[in-house]
Amino acid sequence: MLLESLREEVLHANREIARRGLAPHTFGNASGIDRSGAEPLVVIKPSGVDYATLTPADLVVTDLDGKIVEGSLRPSSDLDTHTLLYRAFPQIGGIVHTHSEFATSWAQAGRPIPCLGTTHADYFHGQVPVTEPLTAEEVAEAYVRNTGAVIVRRFRSEGLDPVAVPGVLVAGHAPFAWGKSAADAVEHADVLEYIARLAFRSVLLNPAANEIPAYVSEHHYLRKHGPKATYGQR
């Protein structure tokens, strides 16, 4: 069986998004990529399979063109979004797609999540961006692939670093998050849902709530992720 270690990691990631309440029913998926060989290979959840019954052998291995390399089940219907993001963002090693309640609410509203507090700033360097809606032509041509394309377009048009901004809201759809591994992507998806919930309640309590000053958000982000980070242990 190919990529046994990565299969275990991706299996755990899929179970975690269900356990953490980020993907009710089968509304979500996690993947990981192995870039060590001549040809990168992706391990992803099969489509529509319940998280509780998943086994490592159920996971599907594909190349970056979406061609199945190993597996008897159909891969996630979001495969083409995952593979496009892996091609566009070579720094990332895992991707999680969820329909978590509050992050999806911001996506459906077509609103970026403003950086209203230091909890947000600890993980995301600025707002959580929202994409433009897909056009009718993009949906008809290749809906899933173009979902990835609108994400990449948003990041490139704003000069965003996918390492510093490890997630996005797809307008009218739901969030995607990523990281250096599948486990890291789960963590970012969980944090994204948490800060989406905080932002929703903050705006509900004070519709005029402003983003925290840039010097505060910058300090919090850099103390955790900057070259002279002081958060955590060496």
Tokens read off for 203: 């705006």
Is residue 230 assigned to a domain? no
Is residue 232 assigned to a domain? no
The residue segments making up the domain with residue 82 are 4-225
Is residue 231 assigned to a domain? no
Helix ranges, the chain (H):
4-19, 79-88, 101-109, 118-121, 136-158, 182-205, 214-225
What's the CATH code of the domain at 202?
3.40.225.10
**141-159 pLDDT, tens digit each:** 999 999 999 999 999 999 9
The yes-or-no verdict on residue 12 having pLDDT over 60 is: yes
Q: Is 122 marked active-site?
A: yes
Catalytic entry in 63, 143, 161, 231: 231
| CA neighbor of 44 nearest in space, from 79, 81, 2 | 79
Domain count, the chain: 1
More confident of the two residues 198 and 48: 198
Is residue 37 assigned to a domain? yes
Is residue 89 assigned to a domain? yes
Is residue 15 assigned to a domain? yes
Catalytic entry in 122, 123, 194, 221: 122
Is residue 23 assigned to a domain? yes
pLDDT at 128: 98
**172-199 pLDDT, tens digit each:** 999 999 999 999 999 999 999 999 999 9
Is residue 38 assigned to a domain? yes
